[in-house]
Amino acid sequence: MSAPSPTTPAAAAAGPHALDLVVVPTPQPPLQDERIPVRLVRPGVASPRPAHRPGPRPRSGRPDQLDDFGPVLSGRADLPDAHLVARRLVTLTLEALAGRRPLSQLQPLTSPGVFAALSAGRRPRWCAHGMSPLIVGAVRVCEPVDGVAEVSAVARRAGRAHAVAARLEGVDGRWRCTALQIG
């Protein structure tokens, strides 16, 4: 049987492992979303936070502001069919890792970080060894946010199934793989 927990604050503080709660004020002002007109924000009501989108910044769309020359996020209406691009990405990646196609063909489809990881030379043993054909089975695509697609696929080789997962983001009017996991 365990000992009863102390019920008073003085008894709790007297224990050998007492915890102190320290409230630290935030040094930044509260977040104000520029997309929400100020007249819609009521006093005392926090404005909704924008969805986190790593990578390039969206264009402002206002003629009085100059846009930088970097990559621009694209919405779903400006992008091709995510399912076709996902199947192509999974197939090309597995063929490149198996040595049947050059890795340089993946560069336009992937972010610099993903391409560097693929070029590092670490390949799944099941993908790099053997001559049995690689078969890409069902490819599933989910679009949780406008301009983002999450992909899962099943690849089969020599009677074994392996999982492939990727994240596609719309950049400059085309899908680009920003995360890839091959199991």
Q: Whole domain around residue 131: which residue ranges?
A: 76-182
Phi and psi at 161, nearest 5°, equal -105, 140
pLDDT at position 4, please?
Answer: 53
The total number of structural domains that make up the chain: 1
Pull the structure tokens for residue 22.
């320290």
| Residue 136 covered by a domain | yes
Report if residue 41 sits inside a domain: no
Q: Does 163 fall in a domain?
A: yes
Distances (CA, A) of 2 to 12, 14, 66, 138: 16, 18, 67, 53
Which run of H or of E encompasses 9? helix 9-13
Does residue 159 form part of some domain?
yes
Q: Is 156 within a domain?
A: yes
Q: How far apart are CA 179 and CA 18, in angstroms?
A: 43
pLDDT of residue 53: 53
User: DSSP letters of 47-85?
Assistant: PPPPPP--SSPPP---TTSPPPSS--B--GGGS--HHHH
Q: For residue 157, give the CATH number of its domain.
A: 3.10.450
pLDDT at residue number 59:
57
Mean pLDDT by 10 residues, the chain (183 residues): 53 63 67 53 54 55 58 83 93 86 90 89 71 85 91 88 91 90 85
pLDDT at res. 133: 81
103 falls within a domain: yes
